[in-house]
Structure 1
Amino acid sequence: MNGQVPEFSVLRQNMVRQQVAGRGIEDQQVLEAMQRVPRDAFVPSHLANEAYEDYPLPIGSGQTISQPYIVALMAQLMALKGRERVLDIGTGSGYAAAVLATVALEVFSIERIPELAEQARDNLDRAGFSQVHVRCGDGTLGWPEAAPFDAICVAAGAPAVPETLKQQLSIGGRLVIPVGPEHSVQRLVCITRRSDADFERQDYGGVRFVPLLGEQGWS
């Protein structure tokens, strides 16, 4: 770019058209959210020129911001309509929480690493997302005092679906989470709570996420 500031709005439009809608995301609210949220505001400044490329980017502390398509896919699987209270596990830099907050009513987001939790709060505040609440803690245990949630999104791979998160779903709520027996390879699944004791599971293919660490995740 020869030192010039890129035209981020144009890059964002291209991202949504080519990487998101072009790969099968059809939920109009999700597409609009991806168009509205500035991904460049949620990556390190020296990587801003790469913010709208179709790959994860490092955000510090050994963590990454997920590629745009995966953020959009997980949001679409949650089937949000605009009035939901959402639990977001693995805040990272805050980008996915911002996308979810653009579609839902309120987002509660948990980040395990203190430095990233603080970074996410700063990013979200600067971008104007006051409806996102961030705290540092063990995401596998959820946010009991704010439950139940209409939807839960987990941005890290678990060895199994945490029972605590399932129990914090409202009836009809959806939990989207990568699950697998290995740290680096998982299946993206959507768990829908049909009743107090009944949960329906759907599989949406192979993904790669960092491991979900915590009491009900990887040790």
Structure 2
Amino acid sequence: MNYEQARFNMIEQQIRPWEVLDSQILSLLAIVKREDFVPAAHRALAFADLEIPLTEALAKHPDQCMLLPKVEARILQDLSVQKHESVLEIGTGTGYMAALLAHRSQRVISLEIDADLAEIARENLLNAGVHNAEVRTGDGAANIAKAVSNTDPLQGPFDVIVLSGSVAKVPDALLSMLKIGGRLSAIVGFEPMMRHSLITRVGEKAWRTTQAWDTVAPRLQNFPEPSRFSF
């Protein structure tokens, strides 16, 4: 397989048409080798327009997967991460998004609930020469509550928070971990269609939400699932 041609095709045929036009983001996607973060059984699909499963050999939960390449790229563009900023990611997977974020920021802390996946992500990041991303094994939903209560500090607050999976609702406790001026990226809602939310903290108790595009992504584990129905 010609990986460089496949990477070029991914950028030109999938990512640019999704309004990802930031030259720095496009260059980064050419530099960070996505195929090195894809499970070996699915490496031929590294640049396909689909969610790549993290097979049962890697993940205890078979619905875990890598996000679509165009979704990863659009999230990066919308967040506009700067080199002096700190990032918290929830849902490391195999570490690809953490690697992209690390290239754009000062440091990344990434939480992965599956211990086997967390170890694979650490190895992938090390092999890719990424040294400013720390993968921690832990339940992101539980760690948020502990961090807010100062029983398990995550070295926040953060300039950027990324949920690499979907939630029914963004917890208020997570929003409180943003610095003023900080941004949070989350895919919010229910199938068959969810919305990407970019939430910016504009004051001590004030946030602004922009929802610019639709997508669908697997759930992050253990985040609250409120009822979809009301009476």
TM over 0.5: yes
Q: Give the Å deviation of 1:50.
A: 1.4
Partner of 1:217: 224
Deviations 1:112-149 (A, max 9, x none): 11111111111111111111100111213446331011
CA RMSD of aligned residues (A): 1.7
Q: 1:168 aligns with which of 177, 185, 196?
A: 177
Partner of 1:70: 71
TM-score w.r.t. the length of structure 1 is: 0.90
Unaligned runs of 5+ in 1: 1-5
SS of match in other structure, 1:26: coil
Q: Give the Å deviation of 1:184.
A: 6.0
Q: Give the Å deviation of 1:108.
A: 0.8
Deviations 1:40-87 (A, max 9, x none): 111111321211111111112211111110000111111113221111
Structure 2 letter corresponding to 1:74? I
1:88 and 2:95 are equivalent in the alignment = no
SS of match in other structure, 1:81: coil
SS of match in other structure, 1:194: strand
Report how many aligned residue pairs link the two structures. 212
In the aligned structure 1, how far is the partner of 2:79 from the partner of 2:132?
18
In the aligned structure 2, how far is the partner of 1:80 from the partner of 1:47?
29
In the aligned structure 2, how far is the partner of 1:211 from the partner of 1:184?
13
In the aligned structure 2, how far is the partner of 1:212 from the partner of 1:183?
14
1:87–1:151 CA contact under 8 A, matched in 2 = yes
Partner of 1:193: 201
Structure 1 letter corresponding to 2:167? A
TM-score w.r.t. the length of structure 2 is: 0.86
In the aligned structure 2, how far is the partner of 1:200 from the partner of 1:21?
27
1:183–1:210 CA contact under 8 A, matched in 2 = no
Partner of 1:150: 159
SS of match in other structure, 2:167: coil
In the aligned structure 2, how far is the partner of 1:145 from the partner of 1:120?
19
Structure 1 segment 1-219 matched on structure 2, within 5 A = 6-60=1-55, 61=59, 62=62, 63-140=64-141, 141-142=143-144, 144-180=153-189, 182=190, 185-214=193-222, 216-218=223-225
Unaligned runs of 5+ in 2: 148-152, 227-231
